[in-house]
């Protein structure tokens, strides 16, 4: 029996017990983001419904804008301010209300300090700092979820894209409701490992065109504008790395959302590239196949299945002529493997068609 009798109200200990202060517990949700209690942040910190802490300027976030520019930043401290200057200048001269959501992806340089300093000059900047590096795909996904604008713009902070064209991309979506995404299609390649990137990107793009039955001038451009409401169901499909831009393209095309391509130039990047040719190219190919499998698995699985069955049957006829009623193991393996893959294709298609939502 460990129960303690309650002290009567006249007892002095009653007042002492009930006068004890209650300790305030700081509950922090969303561990990926959160330096909201950082004393270096000079403005207000707003906790969003997703548990992410977004730092605003002294005047707060202000009214909801028409455009949200999502700007992932990882070790871009040397030039991110120039990029913010460019974006802010063209949007200030446009007719659009806007905000720039700068996401510091746990940079190891002074990127976060530069972003916080920029808030004192530009009232439309909001800063979302990550505790851990999540990759550009994670930054873009969370940035789009937390965006308050009807139109979301993705771009990079490395001085490569024509960010002066952002108002033009937004106007296309505003004036033509038949398009849900506008992409800045690059006419040149200025990235690292150019000798290998050009043929690899061409091959991946051709695979995506064949799978989606759509001409795609630029599959993985980082400069694009799209309707936030249309994109929300697809955000959970975005991978953490660079192939997120490929994913959002294929997701839109596979679900019959029209995309308009506008030719843009592409400059040599400032700073050090985070792109790793072998690993990222491999992930690009896997992501293209994964996305089409998600929307149309028959397109990927049924052709090889039918070819294997057809080859097996032809080989069976040849075997029958050469050795009546004798079928080698290779012939049986071809036919059985084709039937198994075809069955898997039909089962996958059944799962896709029975799925609710996207």
The predicted-structure confidence for 50-105, as pLDDT tens digits, reads as follows 788 999 988 888 899 999 999 999 999 999 999 999 999 999 999 999 999 999 99
- On whether residue 100 sits in a domain, the answer given is yes
pLDDT, tens only, 296-337: 889 889 999 999 999 999 999 999 998 888 889 999 999 999
Domain boundary, last residue among 244, 277, 295: 295
Q: Are residues 233 and 309 in the same domain?
A: no
Q: Are residues 315 and 267 in the same domain?
A: no
- On whether residue 207 sits in a domain, the answer given is yes
Mean pLDDT, rounded, for 221-229: 96
Q: Are residues 195 and 218 in the same domain?
A: yes
Query: For the chain, what is the domain count?
Result: 2
Contacts 24+ apart (CB under 8 A), 301-304: 301/341, 301/342, 301/344, 301/345, 301/348, 302/342, 302/345, 304/338, 304/341
Is the Cα torsion angle 158, 161, 167, 173 positive or negative in sign?
Answer: negative
pLDDT, tens only, 228-270: 999 999 999 888 876 889 889 999 998 899 999 999 998 886 7
pLDDT at 29: 37
Residues 328, 317: Cα–Cα separation, whole Å: 12
- On whether residue 27 sits in a domain, the answer given is no
Coil, strand or helix at 67: strand
Q: Note the helical H segments in 48-146.
A: 80-92, 111-119, 136-146
Q: Are residues 302 and 287 in the same domain?
A: no
Q: Are residues 284 and 320 in the same domain?
A: no
Query: Band of the pLDDT at 14, cuts 50, 70, 90?
Result: very low
* Domain span at 173: 45-295
- On whether residue 32 sits in a domain, the answer given is no
Q: Are residues 254 and 334 in the same domain?
A: no
Domain boundary, last residue among 273, 295, 317: 295
Residues 95/65, Cβ–Cβ less than 8 Å: no
- On whether residue 233 sits in a domain, the answer given is yes
Question: Burial, 306: exposed, middle or buried (Cβ in 10 Å; 0-12, 13-18, 19+)?
Answer: middle
- On whether residue 33 sits in a domain, the answer given is no
pLDDT, tens only, 179-207: 999 999 998 766 555 656 677 778 888 88
Residues 335, 4: Cα–Cα separation, whole Å: 78
- Does 272 have pLDDT greater than 90? no
Task: Write phi, then psi, for 337 (nearest 5 degrees).
Answer: -65, -40
Q: Are residues 225 and 341 in the same domain?
A: no
Q: Are residues 88 and 211 in the same domain?
A: yes
pLDDT at 16: 40
pLDDT at 126: 96
Beta-sheet strands, E only, within the chain:
45-47, 53-55, 67-73, 98-104, 125-129, 151-154, 181-186, 224-227, 259-264
pLDDT, tens only, 151-181: 999 999 988 999 999 999 999 999 999 999 9
Look up the CATH number of the domain holding residue 69: 3.90.550.10
- On whether residue 238 sits in a domain, the answer given is yes
Q: Are residues 84 and 208 in the same domain?
A: yes
- On whether residue 26 sits in a domain, the answer given is no
Q: Are residues 186 and 201 in the same domain?
A: yes
- How many Cβ atoms are within 10 Å of 117's Cβ, its own excluded? 12
Q: Are residues 71 and 124 in the same domain?
A: yes
Q: Are residues 280 and 305 in the same domain?
A: no
pLDDT at 242: 64
Beta strand 98-104 with 67-73: parallel, antiparallel or unpaired?
A: parallel
Going by the DSSP 8-state scheme, the letter that residue 160 receives in this structure is: -
- 173's enclosing H/E stretch is helix 166-175
Residues 127/61, Cβ–Cβ less than 8 Å: no
Domain boundary, last residue among 275, 295, 315: 295
Query: Band of the pLDDT at 21, cuts 50, 70, 90?
Result: very low
Residues 257/231, Cβ–Cβ less than 8 Å: no
């Amino acid at each position: 029996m460990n129960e303690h009798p309650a002290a009567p109200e006249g007892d002095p200990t009653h007042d002492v017990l009930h006068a004890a202060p209650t300790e305030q517990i700081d509950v922090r949700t969303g561990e990926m983001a959160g330096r909201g209690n950082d004393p270096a942040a000079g403005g207000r910190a707003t906790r969003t419904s997703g548990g992410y802490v977004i730092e605003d300027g002294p005047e707060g976030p202000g009214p909801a804008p028409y455009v949200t520019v999502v700007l992932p930043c990882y070790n871009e401290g040397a030039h991110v301010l120039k990029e913010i200057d460019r974006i802010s200048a063209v949007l200030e001269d446009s007719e659009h209300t806007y905000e720039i959501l700068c996401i510091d992806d746990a940079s190891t340089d002074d990127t976060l300090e530069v972003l916080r300093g920029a808030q004192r000059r530009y009232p439309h900047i909001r800063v979302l700092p990550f505790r851990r590096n999540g990759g550009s795909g994670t930054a873009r996904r969370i940035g789009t979820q937390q965006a308050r604008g009807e139109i979301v713009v993705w771009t990079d902070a490395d001085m490569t894209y024509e960010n002066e064209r952002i108002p033009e991309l937004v106007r296309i979506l505003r004036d033509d409701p038949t398009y849900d995404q506008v992409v800045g299609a690059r006419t040149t390649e200025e990235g690292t490992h150019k000798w290998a990137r050009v043929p690899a990107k061409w091959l991946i793009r051709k695979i995506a065109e064949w799978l989606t039955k759509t001409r795609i001038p630029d599959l993985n451009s980082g400069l694009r504008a799209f309707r936030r409401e249309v994109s929300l169901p697809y955000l959970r499909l975005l991978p953490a790395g660079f192939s997120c831009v490929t994913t959002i393209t294929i997701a839109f095309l596979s679900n019959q959302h029209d995309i308009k391509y506008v030719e843009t130039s592409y400059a040599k990047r400032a700073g050090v590239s985070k792109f790793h040719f072998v690993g990222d190219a491999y992930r690009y190919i896997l992501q293209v196949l994964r996305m089409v499998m998600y929307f149309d698995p028959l397109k990927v699985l049924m052709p090889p299945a039918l070819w294997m069955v057809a080859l097996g049957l032809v080989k069976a006829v040849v075997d029958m002529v050469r050795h009546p009623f004798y079928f080698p193991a290779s012939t049986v393996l071809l036919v059985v493997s084709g039937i198994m893959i075809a069955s898997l294709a039909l089962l996958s298609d059944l799962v896709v068609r029975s799925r609710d939502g996207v």
